[in-house]
A = this chain, B = another copy of it.
Amino acid sequence: MKVSARSDTAQAAPLPVDLADGVFPAGCPSRTVLDHVTSKWGVLILLALSEGEQRWSDLRRRAEGISEKMLAQTLKTLERDGLVRRDAQPVIPPRVDYSLTDRGYELSALLVPLVAWAFENAEDIVNGQR
């Protein structure tokens, strides 16, 4: 479905003013949050956890290609942001479960359509470039 009236350029500005003013300044907190959330691995981890609680090794396998360092770093950041909850059980061998907080779940609900879009359009996009 085409939205645009002229040629094939999309216009219209459905962007709330306060949002625009709030996100673009360099030092604003939203930049930081966005960076964490849209980081290369952040998206994958949040998405994986949206399926439910998972262990470290599950996540490592799920987010194929992630290094242990980045997994640890990503999880720590998301935990500090209050999006992911860490539940370490004092057993041998150690077992740590990760899950989304309510806020993280809220976020993942917004992430899912984005990822779905990327998935659906990926082939087209990649084919388009030679």
Residues of A that sit less than 8 Å from B by CB: 2-5, 7-16, 19-20, 22-26, 28-30, 32-35, 37-40, 43-44, 47-48, 50-53, 62-65, 80-83, 85, 99-119, 121-126, 128-129
CA distance A116 to B14 in the complex (A): 12
CB-based contact A52/B109 at 8 Å: no
Count of chain copies: 2
Closest chain-B Cβ to A47's Cβ sits at a distance in Å of 7
With A100-B9, A129-B81 as given contacts, are A109 and B47 in contact (CB-CB < 8 Å)? no
Q: List 16 A-B contacts (CB under 8 A).
A: A9-B102, A10-B105, A13-B51, A19-B119, A24-B63, A29-B123, A30-B122, A32-B122, A33-B121, A34-B115, A34-B118, A37-B118, A38-B43, A82-B125, A82-B128, A107-B121
In the complex where A43-B34, A115-B34, A126-B32 touch, is A104 in contact with B10 (Cβ < 8 A)? yes
